[in-house]
Amino acid sequence: MNAWAKSYPENKHVKFLADGSATYTHALGLELDLNDKGLGTRSKRFALLVEDLKVKVANVENGGEFTISGADEIIKAL
């Protein structure tokens, strides 16, 4: 995440956050158990719009979809 964030030095508003042990993902109830496939605990695909530490929008994808968690949908929510 740090390397990705450094590739956008002009960014002043987006926080790049890692959740390597899925602690935050679990707290949000967005974990995806892929242990049976040998992949451990992952997160569902999602995008959050957070303002003043409050989640204003939570776009959580179903299954393998990629329809509501992209940048265009979050921009619409702004």
| Secondary structure, 3-state, 44-75 | CCEEEEEECCEEEEEEECCCCCCCCCCHHHHH
Q: What mean pLDDT, rounded, does the chain reach?
A: 91
pTM of model > 0.85:
no
Mean pLDDT over residues 35-44, rounded? 92
**Looking at residues 48-71, what average pLDDT do you find?**
93
- Bridge partners, residue 60, by sequence: 46
For the segment 45-58, the average pLDDT, to the nearest whole number, is 93
Distance separating alpha carbons of residues 73 and 78, to the nearest angstrom: 9
DSSP letter for 31, please.
E
Identify the band that residue 76 occupies on the pLDDT scale cut at 50, 70 and 90: very high
Average pLDDT score over residue span 41-56: 92
Indicate if the pLDDT at residue 17 is higher than 90.
Answer: no
Quote helix, strand, coil % in the chain, to nearest 5: 25, 25, 50
**69 within 8 A of 53, measured Cβ to Cβ:** no
